[in-house]
Amino acid sequence: CLKVMESASRQQALASLASIEEPMDLIRVSLDEIVHVKMRNERELRGRLHAFDSHLNMVLGDVEETVTTLEIDEETYEEVYKATKRTVPMLFVRGDGVILVSPIGSSQAA
C-alpha cells in the first residue's frame, strides 16, 4: 500500500512540475508544503508556506529560523561561525529580504 501511495505522490509531483512555466509557478505549487527560504543577513527559514504574493511576501507556519553569525575568538582571533535557532508558530516574511525559495522534497522534510 505504501508503494502505491509513493507512486501516486510521485506522479502528482511530476504533474505539478509540468505545470511550471514561470518562476512564481514553483512557489504556487509549493503552497501548504515545507519550503526553505534563504534571507539577507545570514538568516534561513524552513516552514510550511501558507500564502504569498507577487512581491514574495510570505506567511509561513511552524517555522524554524537559523541565524548564522561570525564571531572572533578574543584569545585566538579565530573566526567562529555560530548558528542560533528558534521556532516560530506563524511568521510574516517581507519579500524584499528574500534571496531564495526552495521546495523541500518529502525525503528532506524530516
| Domain interval for residue 37 | 31-103
- Rounded to a whole number, what is the distance in angstroms from the first to the last CA of the chain? 21
Please state, in angstroms and rounded to a whole number, the distance separating the CA atoms of residues 109 and 107. Answer: 6
**Residue 66 counted as domain residue:** yes
pTM score: 0.76
Confidence at residue 98, expressed as pLDDT on a 0 to 100 scale: 97
Confidence at residue 59, expressed as pLDDT on a 0 to 100 scale: 98
Please state, in angstroms and rounded to a whole number, the distance separating the CA atoms of residues 67 and 69. Answer: 6
Q: Which domain CATH number covers 96?
A: 2.30.30.100
Q: Residue 43, class by beta-carbon neighbours within 10 Å (0-12 exposed, 13-18 middle, 19+ buried)?
A: middle
Residue ranges of the chain whose pLDDT lies below 50: 2-5, 107, 110
CB atoms within 10 A of CB 34: 20
- Structural domains of the chain, count: 1
Confidence at residue 108, expressed as pLDDT on a 0 to 100 scale: 52
